[in-house]
């Protein structure tokens, strides 16, 4: 009788193990089907504005786009990253980032926060006509607070960035300092080379910065101090922009070190609560398999992170950064037209 019960128990265990195995296999198959389905959706970009004649970079050849669709390749994507300051009224960071999975490249263009934006200029006049912009001109950092509707404010900054960089921008990502700190902590901190000892205190802002120099892992609070520090760079705000680019690079590298697609998706899903974006989780699924295959050592190629060239000029007693259009054209044509080495 004992043998009969033992045999039955063995059969039950085998059946349970078999059932668990089938559930795991089915889950993997279904997940793979979802990813394959997502990556075979429409790849054509609907560029805002329609008129590409003002773009610095020529549009991609149609035959190449058709070939990409036939091969089931996902398209490169471009987004503007908008980082708000502590008050959540000023944009301390405006970056245009382009990810090209085919070329294994991530390109970044930083736009200085003090850039002069003249809404009477032909490039920006249509923007002021489309949205409730409360000023005739201002610094880029002040645009967000000078648009009545904050949802429109994000669109205004996106369109301004599009005009400056000269390529269509597909998505936006907006994050404030609280969200930034939470994301850094979510990935377990970021490794950054702090170029010098940084000490700064501003009681009015509640800002206290104390960082030692050298390579170190920063948590969210320390990373916030690093991106907000601006008083001690030899090259002024340009030094701060370069450091912001290094922080972005460090954050991306930390994510790219994860090779498990499920872990990456889980991390991205968790991170979504700290940002505002029109890049959906379904869109994200299309790129996860490409992210896991990226070469961390080569994706950040030298020269792939640039800053819009400017020169200083005083207007009504205030200093503004004025865009050097000739140098901008030269830098961006090299950035977006360069071939893989």
C-alpha 248/C-alpha 301 separation (Å) is 14
pTM: 0.75
pLDDT at 293 over 60: yes
C-alpha 240/C-alpha 209 separation (Å) is 14
Question: Would 128 be classed as within a structural domain?
Answer: yes
Check whether residue 91 and residue 216 sit in a common domain: yes
Question: Would 14 be classed as within a structural domain?
Answer: yes
Task: Between 230 and 278, name the one with better pLDDT.
Answer: 278
Check whether residue 20 and residue 154 sit in a common domain: no
pLDDT at 35 over 50: no
Residues ≥6 apart with Cβ < 8 Å to 219: 184, 185, 189
Check whether residue 34 and residue 69 sit in a common domain: no
Question: Would 175 be classed as within a structural domain?
Answer: yes
Check whether residue 292 and residue 182 sit in a common domain: yes
Check whether residue 90 and residue 9 sit in a common domain: no
Quick one: pLDDT at residue 134? 92
The alpha carbon of 50 is separated from its chain's Cα centroid by a whole number of angstroms, namely: 24
Q: Which of 4-18, 27-41, 264-278, 307-321 has the highest mean pLDDT?
A: 307-321
pLDDT at 42 over 60: no
Band of pLDDT at residue 288, cut at 50, 70 and 90: confident
Check whether residue 162 and residue 302 sit in a common domain: yes
**Section 38-57 average pLDDT:** 37
Q: How far is CA 318 from CA 87, 239, 311, 314, in A?
A: 21, 21, 14, 5
Quick one: pLDDT at residue 64? 37
Quick one: pLDDT at residue 91? 95
Check whether residue 301 and residue 197 sit in a common domain: yes
Question: Would 57 be classed as within a structural domain?
Answer: no
Check whether residue 115 and residue 29 sit in a common domain: no
Check whether residue 148 and residue 246 sit in a common domain: yes
Question: Would 140 be classed as within a structural domain?
Answer: yes
Check whether residue 322 and residue 178 sit in a common domain: yes
Q: Could you read off the pLDDT of 175-203 as tens digits, one per residue?
A: 999 999 999 999 999 999 999 999 999 88
**Section 315-319 average pLDDT:** 94
Check whether residue 315 and residue 217 sit in a common domain: yes
Check whether residue 136 and residue 212 sit in a common domain: yes
Quick one: pLDDT at residue 222? 96
Please give the structure tokens belonging to residue 328: 């901008």
Band of pLDDT at residue 29, cut at 50, 70 and 90: very low
**Section 131-142 average pLDDT:** 95
pLDDT at 23 over 60: no
**Structural domain span for residue 268:** 62-337
Question: Using CA atoms in the order 114, 111, 169, 136, what is the torsion angle rounded to 10 degrees?
Answer: 20
Question: Would 47 be classed as within a structural domain?
Answer: no
pLDDT at 170 over 50: yes
**Section 259-264 average pLDDT:** 81
Neighbours of 224 (CB within 10 A): 20
Question: Would 51 be classed as within a structural domain?
Answer: no
Question: Would 159 be classed as within a structural domain?
Answer: yes
Number of domains in the chain: 2
Quick one: pLDDT at residue 20? 56
CATH number of the domain within which 283 lies: 3.40.630.190
When the pLDDT of each residue in the chain is averaged and rounded to a whole number, the result is 80
Quick one: pLDDT at residue 18? 57
Give, as one character, the DSSP assignment of residue 15. H
Quick one: pLDDT at residue 218? 96
Band of pLDDT at residue 8, cut at 50, 70 and 90: low
Q: Could you read off the pLDDT of 75-127 as tens digits, one per residue?
A: 889 999 999 998 999 999 999 999 988 887 889 999 999 999 999 999 999 99
């Amino acid at each position: 009788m004992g043998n009969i019960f033992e045999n039955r128990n063995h059969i039950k265990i085998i059946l349970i193990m078999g059932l668990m195995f089938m559930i795991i296999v089915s889950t993997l198959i279904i997940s793979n089907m979802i990813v394959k389905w997502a990556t075979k959706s429409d790849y054509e970009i609907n560029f805002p504005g329609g008129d590409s004649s003002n773009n610095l970079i020529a549009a991609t050849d149609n035959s190449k786009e058709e070939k990409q669709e036939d091969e089931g390749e996902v398209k490169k994507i471009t987004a503007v990253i908008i980082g708000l300051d502590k008050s959540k009224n000023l944009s301390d960071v405006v970056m245009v980032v382009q990810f090209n999975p085919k070329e294994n490249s991530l390109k970044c263009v930083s736009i200085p926060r003090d850039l002069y934006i003249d809404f009477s200029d032909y490039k920006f006049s249509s923007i002021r006509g489309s949205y409730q912009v409360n000023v005739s001109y201002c610094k880029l950092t002040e645009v967000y607070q000078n648009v009545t509707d904050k949802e429109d404010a994000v669109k205004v900054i996106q369109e301004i960035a599009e005009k400056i960089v000269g390529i269509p921008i597909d998505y936006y990502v907006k994050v404030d300092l609280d969200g930034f700190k939470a994301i850094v902590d979510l990935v377990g901190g970021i490794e950054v080379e702090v170029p010098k000892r940084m000490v700064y205190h501003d009681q009015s802002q509640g800002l206290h910065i104390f960082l030692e120099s050298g390579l170190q892992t920063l948590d969210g609070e320390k990373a916030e101090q690093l991106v907000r520090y601006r008083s001690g760079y030899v090259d002024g705000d340009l030094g701060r922009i370069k450091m912001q680019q290094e922080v972005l690079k460090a954050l991306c590298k930390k994510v790219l070190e994860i090779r498990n697609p499920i872990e990456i998706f889980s991390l991205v899903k968790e991170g979504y609560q700290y940002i505002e974006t029109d890049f959906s989780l379904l869109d994200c699924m299309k790129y996860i398999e490409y992210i896991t295959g990226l070469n961390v050592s080569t994706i950040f190629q030298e020269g792939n992170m640039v800053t819009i060239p400017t020169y200083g000029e005083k207007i009504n007693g205030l200093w503004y950064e004025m865009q050097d259009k000739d140098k901008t054209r030269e830098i961006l044509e090299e950035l977006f037209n360069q071939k893989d080495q």
